[in-house]
Chains A and B, each alone.
Chain A
Amino acid sequence: MLIAVLAGLIVSILFIPFGKFFRQRAAIAVSLLPISLFLYFLSYIPAVRSGSSVSFHYPWVPSMGINLDFHLDGLALLFSLLITGIGSLVFLYASSYLKGHPYLDRFYAYLSLFMASMLGLVLSDNILLLFIFWELTSISSFFLIGFNNDDPASRKSALIALAVTGGGGLLLMAGLILMGHLSGSYSIQEMADNAERLKNHALYGLILVLVFAGAFTKSAQFPFHFWLPGAMKAPTPISAYLHSATMVKAGVYLLARFSPVLGGSDYWQYTLLIVGGITMLYSAFHSIFRTDLKGILAYSTIAALGILVFLIGIGTPESLVAASVFILVHALYKASLFLTTGIIDHKTGTRDVTQLAGLRHVMLPLAIGGLLAALSSAGLPLTFGFIGKDLIYEATLHSPGLLRFVLTAVAVLTNIFLLYAGFLAGIKPFTGSLPQQFKGIHLPNGLLWIPPVLLSLLGVLFGCFPAWIGEVLLHPAAQSMTRLTTAAPLKIWHGFNLVLLLSGATLILGTLLYWVRKPSEQRLSALTRFNMLSPEELFRRLYRSLIRLSVWYTNTLHNGYLRVYLLRIVVFAILLLAFRLFTADGIVIDLGTVSPVSIYEIVVGAILVGGLYLSVTTSSRLTAVAATSVVGYCICLMFVFYSAPDLAMTQFTIDTLTVVLFVLVLFRLPPFLNFANNSVKIRDGIIATLFGCIISLIGLLVLSEPIRTEVSNYYGDNAYVLAKGKNVVNVILVDFRGIDTMFEIVVLSIAAIGVYSLLKLRLRATEKE
Chain B
Amino acid sequence: MKSTILKTATSYLLPILLLFSVFILLRGHYHPGGGFVGGLIASIAFVLHGFTYGTENTLKLMRYHPAVLIPAGLALATLSMFAPVLLGLPVMTGLWIDEPIPVIGMVGSALFFDLGVYLVVIGVVLTILFTITQYNE
User: Which residues on A are within 8 Å of B, measured CB to CB?
Assistant: 645-646, 649-650, 653-654, 656-657, 660-661, 664-665, 667-668, 722-727, 729-731, 733-735, 738-739, 741-742, 745-746, 748-749, 751-753, 755-756, 759-760, 762-763
Contacts and interface: CB of A to CB of B under 8 A. Distances in A.
A482 to B, nearest CB: 40
Given A657-B43, A657-B44, A752 B81 contact: no
Nearest to A745: B120
Nearest to B43: A657
A664 B74 contact: no
A267 B44 CA distance: 66
A748 B120 contact: yes
Contacts of B116: 745
A745 B129 contact: no
Given A650-B37, A653-B37, A749-B74, A759 B135 contact: yes
Contacts of B133: 664
B110 A734 contact: yes
Given A657-B47, A722-B94, A734 B113 contact: yes
A649 B27 CA distance: 14
B67 interface: yes
A763 B135 contact: yes
Given A660-B47, A722-B94, A723-B110, A746 B74 contact: yes
Contact of B34 (A646, A752, A762): A646
Contact of A725 (B29, B41, B77, B129): B29
Contacts of B29: 724-727, 730-731, 734
Given A653-B40, A745-B73, A745-B77, A751 B124 contact: yes
Contact of B32 (A646, A742, A751): A646
Given A645-B32, A650-B36, A724-B108, A739 B47 contact: no
A753 to B, nearest CB: 8
Interface in B79-110: 81, 92, 94, 96, 106, 108, 110
Given A667-B136, A726-B30, 14 more contacts: A646-B33, A653-B44, A657-B44, A664-B129, A724-B96, A730-B29, A734-B113, A735-B92, A738-B92, A749-B74, A752-B70, A753-B70, A759-B131, A760-B131
13 contacts: A645-B32, A656-B44, A664-B136, A724-B29, A727-B28, A730-B114, A734-B35, A734-B114, A735-B92, A735-B94, A739-B92, A748-B124, A755-B131
Contacts of B117: 733-734, 741, 745
Most chain B beta-carbon contacts within 10 A, residue among A664, A745, A762, A763: A745
Contacts of B32: 645-646, 649, 727, 729
A241 to B, nearest CB: 34
B62 interface: no
Nearest to A754: B128
B58 interface: no
Nearest to B111: A734
A741 B44 CA distance: 21
Q: Rank and list the top 6 A-B pairs by shortest CB-CB distance, nearest first.
A: A653-B40, A645-B32, A752-B124, A725-B29, A726-B30, A745-B120
Interface SS, A side:
helix
Contacts of B108: 724
A725 B67 CA distance: 31
B22 interface: no
A656 B77 CA distance: 26
Contacts of B34: 646, 727, 729-730, 733-734
A280 to B, nearest CB: 48
B53 to A, nearest CB: 15
Most chain B beta-carbon contacts within 10 A, residue among A664, A742, A748: A748
Nearest to A719: B29
A735 B30 CA distance: 13
Nearest to A661: B129
B63 interface: no
Nearest to B28: A730
A745 B96 CA distance: 23
A654 B40 contact: yes
Contact of B131 (A646, A723, A756): A756
Interface residues of B, number: 48
B129 A660 contact: yes
B18 interface: no
A742 B37 contact: no
Contact of B136 (A668, A722, A739, A746): A668
Given A650-B36, A657-B40, A657-B43, A727 B31 contact: yes
A646 to B, nearest CB: 5
A722 B129 CA distance: 39
Contacts of A756: 67, 127-128, 131
B11 interface: no
A646 B30 CA distance: 12
A755 B110 contact: no
Interface in B13-61: 24, 28-37, 40-41, 43-44, 47, 51
Contacts of A763: 135
A726 B123 CA distance: 28
A190 to B, nearest CB: 25
Nearest to A656: B44
A745 B121 contact: yes
Contacts of A668: 136
Nearest to A663: B51
B64 to A, nearest CB: 15
Most chain B beta-carbon contacts within 10 A, residue among A722, A724, A763: A724
Nearest to B132: A664
Nearest to B70: A749
B6 interface: no
Contacts of A735: 92, 94, 110
Contacts of B81: 738-739, 742
Contacts of A755: 127-128, 131-132
Contacts of A725: 29-30, 110
A755 B47 CA distance: 17
A738 B117 CA distance: 11
B80 to A, nearest CB: 9
A742 to B, nearest CB: 6
Nearest to A645: B32
A724 B29 CA distance: 8
Given A725-B110, A727-B30, A734-B34, A742 B129 contact: no
B91 to A, nearest CB: 8
Contacts of A661: 128-129, 132
B77 A742 contact: yes
B10 to A, nearest CB: 14
A125 B78 CA distance: 29
Nearest to A725: B29
Contacts of A741: 77, 113, 117
B131 A726 contact: no
Contacts of A664: 129, 132-133, 136
A454 B38 CA distance: 66
A751 B120 CA distance: 12
A733 B127 CA distance: 24
A657 B126 CA distance: 10
A312 to B, nearest CB: 40
A658 to B, nearest CB: 11
B118 to A, nearest CB: 10
A66 to B, nearest CB: 14
A752 B119 CA distance: 13
Most chain A beta-carbon contacts within 10 A, residue among B24, B28, B73: B28
Contacts of A660: 47, 51, 129
A61 to B, nearest CB: 10
A724 B106 contact: yes
Contacts of B30: 725-727
A88 B123 CA distance: 46
